[in-house]
């Protein structure tokens, strides 16, 4: 088995040399073998091996054509067909011609499209048939015609079957390759989505508490000598915010380090944590007004988490870009949706001209510029819509409409 595979591999790597060996070997076999045969074959042999000069010439011509079987398949097929038809019509013994015709027809068919191969097979059969009719009319010899036409038809059918099998294998390989590329593209897209999700979660977890720490540390520095008690209270708020951010960061990183079988099943924080969020904002000293229904509406988990993160990010932006500005948080149920609106007035130290970039564009402190992007991603993922922009009086508004029922996605 290994030797056969090695031989086939050598033939595929050296097509010209293998065709040369095939043509020369068959020519020598049918010429020298026929010359040596009469001495040891009985007179009643079923095959006539008598050589004639035209038969030898056609055998040599056919063998020479076989050496070009792959490089010039059409020309080789024409020569083999003509030699076969001439030998049948004239009655010459050219036993190599039908074999060469079958080999050439097979090679031509597997390398051509189906229509061209069928036309070539039909032309070869007609040509040989004409030679057979001539032989039948002149010598009443009809025996060789059926055999040769059957040989041409069989080689063509086998070649078409091999061609169809190769096409099927190529299609399956192409489908497998495309499926693999699709899986890789899907995996890359999921990795990118996970990176965005992780970045958004870390931003939501850290940004608010860090903004609180920044505000209180500035208050503590300002009041350190004039009002030590107030400075200590501000430092306490910094400490509490630091502990909170460390706790939430540890929770997020812990989830990332666990495998899927150990992932926690606790729900993501939602509006139940809103009161604590508002309390931390009030602790900065900024004016805050709330219009929140009691009890809070029951929302789907994704919508609940998106609503909380939206308020958190909006308040964080107020602390970063409009410190000490009066802020209003409004939450109301409107039909089949819940409306979450966070609006801040113009900060006391701002000019009356509204900032077209809103609080998400840094003014005195640097920012990532991704706050509004993260809000929109969360709201859209929950099936809602988001509107943001400056107010006519120099403030900024963030308004989201979220569905009360979560659609399957």
**The domain boundary residue, chosen from 165, 180, 195:** 180
Distance (Å, whole) CA 367 – CA 373 = 13
Residue 254 lies in a domain: no
Number of folded domains that form the chain: 2
CA triple 225-228-232, angle to 5 deg? 130
In this prediction, residue 221 carries a pLDDT of: 79
Given a cut of 90, is residue 238 above it in pLDDT?
no
Q: With 50 as the cut, is the pLDDT of residue 60 above it?
A: yes
Using pLDDT thresholds of 50, 70 and 90, give the confidence band for residue 328: very high
Q: Which of 272, 292, 359, 369 is nearest to 324 (CA)?
A: 359
C-alpha–C-alpha distance, residues 81 and 387, integer Å: 80
Query: Which of 1-5, 213-217, 326-330, 355-359 ranks highest by mean pLDDT?
Result: 326-330
At 365, the pLDDT band (50, 70, 90 cuts) reads very low
- Report the distance separating Cα 25 and Cα 382, nearest Å: 77
- CATH number of the CATH domain containing 297: 3.30.565.10
Give a yes or no: residue 213 inside a domain. Answer: no
Cα–Cα nearest to 362, from 315, 319, 312, 321: 321
The four Cα atoms 173, 176, 181, 182 give a dihedral, to 10 degrees, of 140
Boundary-marking domain end, from 180, 210, 243: 180
Q: In this structure, what token pair is assigned to residue 38?
A: 């009469």
Is 146 found in the same domain as 38?
yes
- Are 14 and 149 in the same domain? yes
234 part of a folded domain: no
Q: What would the pLDDT profile of 150-169 be if each residue is shown by its tens digit?
A: 888 888 899 999 988 988 99
Residue 342 lies in a domain: yes
Q: pLDDT band for 364, please (50, 70, 90 cuts).
A: very low
327 found inside a domain: yes
Question: Is residue 264 situated within a structural domain?
Answer: no
Question: Residue 199 falls within a domain, yes or no?
Answer: no
Query: Quick one: 290 and 147 in the same domain?
Result: no
What's the predicted TM-score (pTM) here? 0.46
pLDDT digits (tens, 9 = 90+) for 221-230: 777 778 888 7
* Rounded average pLDDT over 334-347: 89
Does residue 355 fall inside a structural domain? yes
d(CA 168, CA 171): 5
- Please give the residue range of the domain that contains residue 291: 271-409
* Domain C-terminal end among 154, 180, 206: 180
Are both 110 and 10 inside the same structural domain? yes
pLDDT band at 357 (very low <50, low <70, confident <90, very high): very low
């Amino acid at each position: 088995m290994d030797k056969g595979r090695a031989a086939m591999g050598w033939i595929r790597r050296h097509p010209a040399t293998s065709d040369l060996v095939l043509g020369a070997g068959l020519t020598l076999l049918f010429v020298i073998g026929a010359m040596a045969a009469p001495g040891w074959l009985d007179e009643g042999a079923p095959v006539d091996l008598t050589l004639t000069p035209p038969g030898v010439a056609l055998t040599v011509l056919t063998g020479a054509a076989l050496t070009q079987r792959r490089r010039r398949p059409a020309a080789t097929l024409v020569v083999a067909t003509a030699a076969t038809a001439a030998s049948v019509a004239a009655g010459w013994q050219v036993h190599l011609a039908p074999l060469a015709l079958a080999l050439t027809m097979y090679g031509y068919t597997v390398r051509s499209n189906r229509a061209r191969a069928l036309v070539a097979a039909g032309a070869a059969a007609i040509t040989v048939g004409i030679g057979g009719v001539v032989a039948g009319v002149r010598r009443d010899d009809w025996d060789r015609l059926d055999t040769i036409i059957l040989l041409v038809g069989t080689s063509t059918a086998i070649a078409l079957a091999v061609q169809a099998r190769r096409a099927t294998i190529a299609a399956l390989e192409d489908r497998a390759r495309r499926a693999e590329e699709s899986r890789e593209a899907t995996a890359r897209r999921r990795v990118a989505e996970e990176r965005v999700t992780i970045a958004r979660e870390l931003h939501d977890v850290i940004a608010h508490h860090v903004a609180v720490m920044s505000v209180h540390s500035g208050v503590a520095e300002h009041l350190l000598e004039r009002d030590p008690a107030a400075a200590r209270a501000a430092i306490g708020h910094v400490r509490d915010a630091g502990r909170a951010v460390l706790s939430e960061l540890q929770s997020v990183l812990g989830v990332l380090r666990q495998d899927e079988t150990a992932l926690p099943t606790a729900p993501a924080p939602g509006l139940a944590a809103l009161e604590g969020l508002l309390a931390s904002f009030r602790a900065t000293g900024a004016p805050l007004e709330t219009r929140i229904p009691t009890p809070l509406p029951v929302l789907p988990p994704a919508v609940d988490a998106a609503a909380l993160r939206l308020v958190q990010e909006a308040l964080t932006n107020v602390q970063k870009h409009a410190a000490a500005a009066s802020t209003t948080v409004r939450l109301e149920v409107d039909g089949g949706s819940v409306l979450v609106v966070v609006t801040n007035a113009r900060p006391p130290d701002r000019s009356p001209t509204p900032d077209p970039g809103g609080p998400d564009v840094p003014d005195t402190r640097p920012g990532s510029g991704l706050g509004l992007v993260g809000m929109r991603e969360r709201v859209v993922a929950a099936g809602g819509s988001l509107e943001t922009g400056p107010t006519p009086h120099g403030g900024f508004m963030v308004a989201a409409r979220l569905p009360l029922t979560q659609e399957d996605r």
